[in-house]
Amino acid sequence: DVKVTQSSRYLVKRTGEKVFLECVQDMDHENMFWYRQDPGLGLRLIYFSYDVKMKEKGDIPEGYSVSREKKERFSLILESASTNQTSMYLCASSLESGSANQPQHFGDGTRLSIL
């Protein structure tokens, strides 16, 4: 079974802090994704990566950056946390297989509160 592990289940930070959310997958997947999920707004893609050191902006990249130094690890960084970044953050990974994208496997999520 694919295992996607997010470093924290719950996290509380203060406005202006630099926040790191970590995600590790154990199935040698090429693609990794970061989403946030908010009531009424659904699941929105922040960034994704299809290879080490590669990244692509999703629909809402503003205020975030990412790092993928190793294939199994994809980090989401909030450069200067703000209260509107309080949300559930979900990491996912998938295999790369040409034009037909493979299903994504999700971590348990990190519920981040910015005070």
Residues lying near another protein in the complex (CB under 8 A) are found at: 33, 35, 40-45, 48, 56, 58-59, 90, 99-109
Q: How far is CA 40 from CA 37, 80, 92, in A?
A: 9, 25, 21
Looking at the Cβ atoms of 80 and 108, the one nearer to another protein is 108
Looking at the Cβ atoms of 26 and 56, the one nearer to another protein is 56
CB-neighbour burial class of residue 33 (10 A; exposed 0-12, middle 13-18, buried 19+): buried
Shortest distance in whole angstroms from residue 114 CB to another protein: 20
Shortest distance in whole angstroms from residue 84 CB to another protein: 19
Shortest distance in whole angstroms from residue 99 CB to another protein: 5
Looking at the Cβ atoms of 68 and 109, the one nearer to another protein is 109
- How many angstroms separate the CA atoms of 110 and 106, rounded? 11
Q: Specify whether the CB–CB gap between 72 and 25 falls below 8 A.
A: yes
Shortest distance in whole angstroms from residue 106 CB to another protein: 4
- How many angstroms separate the CA atoms of 110 and 99, rounded? 30
Q: Specify whether the CB–CB gap between 1 and 105 falls below 8 A.
A: no
Looking at the Cβ atoms of 21 and 90, the one nearer to another protein is 90
